[in-house]
Amino acid sequence: MAAKKRTTARATKARANASAAASARGGTRGEAKASEKVAARAAKKGPLAKPRSSPAKPSSPAKPGTPAKPGTPAKAGAERGARVVKTVKPASPAKAVAKAARAPAASGASAATGPGVGDRAPKFALQDHLGQALSSGDLAGTPYVIYFYPKDDTPGCTSEACGFRDAGADFEGAGVRVLGVSPDSVASHQRFANKYELSFTLLSDPEQELATRYGVWALKKNYGREYMGIVRSTFLVDGEGVIRHAWRGVRVNGHVAEVQAAASALS
């Protein structure tokens, strides 16, 4: 009921205000009535609600865009439409020489530094397998073969000694004497000669003095081990004491035949 009374009061007040406004404008009675009707309808509907306009939210600032990743530059070879070929820089001559110098000798020993063809044969004075002294002076005017071997009664040395034994007649026919030299003792030489019936002279060089003069006592390498030893070598010396042929780092097979041929040509 209270709400109805308030509505009626508002309508009455609205009609009064409308009439007063019409009179103030000097309007006609019809205009006043029209105004009253408008006011009545407005009062009936009630006061207009104020619009509740929410303040507009400030728009969020746009996030800065992530810069685009730079594109991977195309390879030079692809741009040219050709395959890129890797070039290898050649080694300098100095490096090549140094590498060759470091390479081990084919015989497994360091390069020998001793007399060669055309040089005078080193002088010596040693004991043979019979305990008798023999010197280079004793051989003056007589050509001879002097060969150096590592050790008595070992496979390679035995094969070589037996080869010279078997070719003894050929060397004798050429007037060339055969001498075998190793660091073994006189007693070892005697046993070795007796065991294989060697018909030539074996010289004992226990201090490697003659081997050193000929340059055949050198650093050797075997299965990663380094040691000093005899480099198997042979020299053919003429009656004037001059070296006519030299074989260093000898391979036993076929060697005696080669020396015998050279000795025969010497005469």
| Residues tagged active-site | 157
Paired tokens of 33 = 């009535």
**Nearest-angstrom CA–CA distance, 211 and 183:** 9
Asked if 165 and 200 touch (Cβ cutoff 8 Å), the reply is yes
Q: What's the Cα-to-Cα distance from 134 to each of 29, 138, 241, 253, rounded to whole Å?
A: 174, 7, 15, 29
Q: What is the spatial distance between Cα 128 and Cα 133, in angstroms, rounded to a whole number?
A: 6
Q: For the chain, how are helix, strand and coil distributed in percent, rounded to 5? A: 40, 20, 40
Q: From 180, 176, 125, 175, select the one nearest 147 (Cα to Cα).
A: 180
Distance CA 100, CA 34 (A): 127
Q: What is the C-alpha separation between 33 and 223, in angstroms, rounded?
A: 135
At 119, list the tokens.
Answer: 């040089």
- Token reading at 195: 């065991």
- Closest Cα partner for 199 from 232, 177, 174? 177
Q: How far apart are the first and last CA of the chain?
A: 164
